[in-house]
Amino acid sequence: MKRFLPLWFLLLLFSLPAFAENTMTLSFIGDCSLGDAVQYRNASSAFTKAIDENGVDWPFSTLVEYFTADDCTFANLEVVLTERANQKANKTYPLIGKPEFVQCLVEGGIDAVNTVNNHCMDFGASGYDDTIAALDGAGITHFGSTNWGKHPEWDTLAVKEVNGCKIGMIGFTYPQNADLQNIADRIQILRDQGCQLVIVSLHWGKEKHLEPNSGQYTYAQKVIDSGADVVWGHHPHVLQPVYFYNGKPIFFSTGNVVFGTIASLDPYTGIFQLTYDLDDEGNPTLCCFSTVALRFRHGGGEFRPLVLEDESQIHTFRTRVYNSKKVKNMTNLPKEFLDTGEVWLLPDNSLTAYKPE
């Protein structure tokens, strides 16, 4: 005998709002150095001292609520996690952290890190291998390509499934024109593995400069033409403007976030978030770019970023991200971004600072 649902239940069912389409939010932050220049690691104001006193959950404690609410968080890891402090380093400020400092990433909600940058080999090949071993032991996804052919284990592409979407990750340091084909080849490898979204991380640009150099605009376009969906940059230690190209975001520099050793610099930084709509197969469509304004802190043993609440400071942060300079073939953020801190992508790849109806 058939059972019929009561009328009150049917009325309630049809009055409920439709379920939202499946989405995915990715967060990007810039340079993170979980340690100190080796000659300063025993100082009373050192990052090492702060972790010893406050615990591994401390450096990202002001941000963890954002990184646990999103679906995946990406950071540039610019430190060698090793005990080889006596090994000769070839840098004025070789950056080193205890291997157990990898737990700062775990407790902070960081899901994936780029490992190739100008400090990754500060303690040689063995030091880099120690860093990779620490990340693997903690279950942190990592990626980065260097030393073609000589060390195939250092040519690491990462694949991570997030909400049914397969994401591929590539990392390059100081990319040259000759690397464009290397990048394109790795994008194709990830596409062949079924990746529906490909992120290319580039450690590039000039330190402390608030704008990219002219060649970076063209280079970023070529990387996207090669099949990348996101170009995510770092290294200048300060924020640089965001542009879009063919509907794809280009973050030229995402600034400093947590950094144990750094000189005086512009303190504004942030969280860069991309939200995608996902279809039933996990294929992503970018719908929103949004930001969280932060202030980088260094000194007096305080390394945690400050989440900005003062409207004038938030506006200053947004002026670092927005730029009125016109670049051929690229789309500027709308000026209204200075008021909203977010933009929405329309079907024709144009941008609006207000959520479409």
Q: Is residue 166 part of a domain?
A: yes
Torsion of CA 303, 35, 200, 264, to 10 degrees: 50
| pLDDT band at 9; cut points 50, 70, 90 | very low
Q: Could you tell me what percent of the chain has a pLDDT over 90? A: 85
Token pair for 276 = 């995608």
Q: Is residue 311 part of a domain?
A: yes
Whichever domain contains 323, its CATH number is 3.60.21.10
Number of domains in the chain: 1
Look at residue 18 in the predicted model and tell me its pLDDT: 35
Q: Is residue 347 part of a domain?
A: yes
Q: Is residue 218 part of a domain?
A: yes
Please say if the pLDDT value at position 12 is more than 70: no
Q: Could you tell me what percent of the chain has a pLDDT over 70? A: 93
Question: Residue 211 has what DSSP assignment?
Answer: S
Q: Render pLDDT for 64-75 as a digit per residue (tens, 0 to 9).
A: 999 999 999 999
Mean pLDDT, rounded, of the chain: 92
Residues 307, 293 contacting (CB under 8 angstroms): yes
> How far apart (Å, rounded) are the C-alpha atoms in residues 272 and 70?
11
Q: Is residue 331 part of a domain?
A: yes
Average pLDDT over residues 185-209: 97
Q: Is residue 10 part of a domain?
A: no
Q: Is residue 4 part of a domain?
A: no
Q: Is residue 152 part of a domain?
A: yes
Q: Render pLDDT for 14-46 as a digit per residue (tens, 0 to 9).
A: 433 333 459 999 999 999 999 999 999 999 899
Domain that holds residue 147: 21-352
Q: Render pLDDT for 228-268 as a digit per residue (tens, 0 to 9).
A: 999 999 999 999 999 999 999 999 999 999 999 876 789 99
Q: What are 143's strand-pairing partners?
A: 114
Average pLDDT over residues 310-329: 97
